[in-house]
Amino acid sequence: MTAKRVAVLGSTGSIGTQTLDVAWRHPDKIQIVALAANHSVETVVEQAHEFRVRNVAFGDETMRDHAMLANVHEGVSVGFGQQGILDLVHSDDVDCVVNALVGAAGMRASYETLAAGKQLALANKESLVVAGDLIMPLAKQLDEAAGHPWALMPIDSEHGAIYQCLLGERHEEVAALWVTASGGPFRGRTRDQLSGMTAKEALAHPTWKMGPKITIDSSTLMNKGLEVIEAHHLFDMPYDRIKVVVQPQSAIHSMVEYSDGSVKAHLGTTDMRIPIQFALSYPDRWDAPVEPMDFTKLGKLEFYPVDEETFRCFALAKRAGATGGTLPCVMNAANEVAVAAFLADRCGYLDIDACVEHAMDAHEVQAVESLDQLAEIDAWARAVSREYLGVA
């Protein structure tokens, strides 16, 4: 078996480092050939030495003069800016791109990966949330040419779970997709209680260890709204057949309900290396990267409805998805600005959903036509959101 040659975009983040751990455990199956990050030069250099990669890139152009780049081993190509990252995607040495870039910055990399005929292992939510109308047709074309689904593998506990529950089943017999949510650190709180929450409190996720942006999104339940939009695109499922349930133990990663009343649930340990590994190994299954779940110690499984009135980001994301067009782009951009401001202590917790709603209400929805169009709307939404919050 020839090792799959993998480029990891966002190699220094939570998903990126766990992807490298999976590769380290399976050196005969995965060869890391390229790494990209925004500005974590020291970490990328260390990773480049460990995996002996020949191509690295940094999204931040100012990293060109970083002293640590002198320590990259001989023969390594170093790129900068968005073009530097896209050059990795188009490299003939790459079979599969793991896109773990944070935010809208990863969207063009996803598009170019599929346009180049490469497999995309996707952990960047914004790619489908904002540009699903452009990206999914590319994936479907590649799947049709290959004669089986392989072009786009989700790196996500929920969508990876749904993907596995759908294997061998007929699409027309699916009654509903059930996306599970932990409920985040503020489950059960009221709007009044949320008003004074700090970034430190919001970052204390009860079950998952993730990066700061996605952890805040999990606390507001924006993350779950984004996942509903992703599920719509990934599985070609109408919004009225995508449901969300709070499952605090995070033992059930998602479920699929069928027309005969049967429900398939995907259960497992709360460790992202499991869905990462499946995305890279499919259709094979490799040895587990973590200890399997001990069901004798699980104790209980609880299920609750989502409190959409308290966690308004969830309702706003659903509204953006159902409306479609360019509204998800505006919603996503406003959320990124508001979350960044909240993490920098420049706005309150409830200002996040207020900012998102303000930008969405100010936008005149258009049909999605191109990545350039989405980039312009993204920039507009960020400017509107910064003005609303009073941040530079």
224 is in an annotated binding site: yes
Q: Rounded distance, CA 309 to CA 316, Å?
A: 10
Token pair for 145? 């040419």
182 is in an annotated binding site: yes
Which of 319, 335, 314 lies closest to 181 in space, CA to CA?
A: 314
At 67 the three-state DSSP class reads: helix
157 is in an annotated binding site: yes
At 269 the three-state DSSP class reads: coil
Token pair for 167? 């294997």
Residue 42 CB coordination number (10 Å):
13
335 is in an annotated binding site: no
How many C-alpha atoms does 62 have within 13 Å on its Cβ side? 2
125 is in an annotated binding site: yes
Token pair for 219? 């606390």
156 is in an annotated binding site: yes
55 is in an annotated binding site: no
**Cα–Cα distances in Å, from 23 out to 30, 197, 335, 359?**
5, 38, 33, 41
Give me the sign of the Cα torsion angle 307, 311, 314, 318: positive
Give the torsion through C-alpha atoms of 7, 119, 330, 222, to 10 deg. -80
Give me the sign of the Cα torsion angle 269, 274, 276, 278: negative
250 is in an annotated binding site: no
227 is in an annotated binding site: yes
Q: Rounded distance, CA 244 to CA 265, Å?
A: 13
74 is in an annotated binding site: no
225 is in an annotated binding site: no
Distance, C-alpha 342 to centroid of its chain: 20
Kind and range of the H or E element at 175? strand 174-181
- In the sheet that holds 263-267, the strands lie side by side as 242-246, 174-181, 252-258, 263-267
168 is in an annotated binding site: no
12 is in an annotated binding site: yes
Phi first, then psi: give them for residue 136, nearest 5 degrees. Answer: -65, -40
201 is in an annotated binding site: no
| Length, in residues, of the chain | 392
218 is in an annotated binding site: yes
Q: Enumerate the known binding-site residues.
A: 12-15, 124-126, 156-158, 182, 205, 211, 218, 223-224, 227
Q: Enumerate the known binding-site residues for 1-deoxy-D-xylulose 5-phosphate.
A: 125, 157-158, 182, 205, 218, 223-224, 227
Q: Enumerate the known binding-site residues for NADPH.
A: 12-15, 124, 126, 211
Q: Enumerate the known binding-site residues for Mn(2+).
A: 156, 158, 227
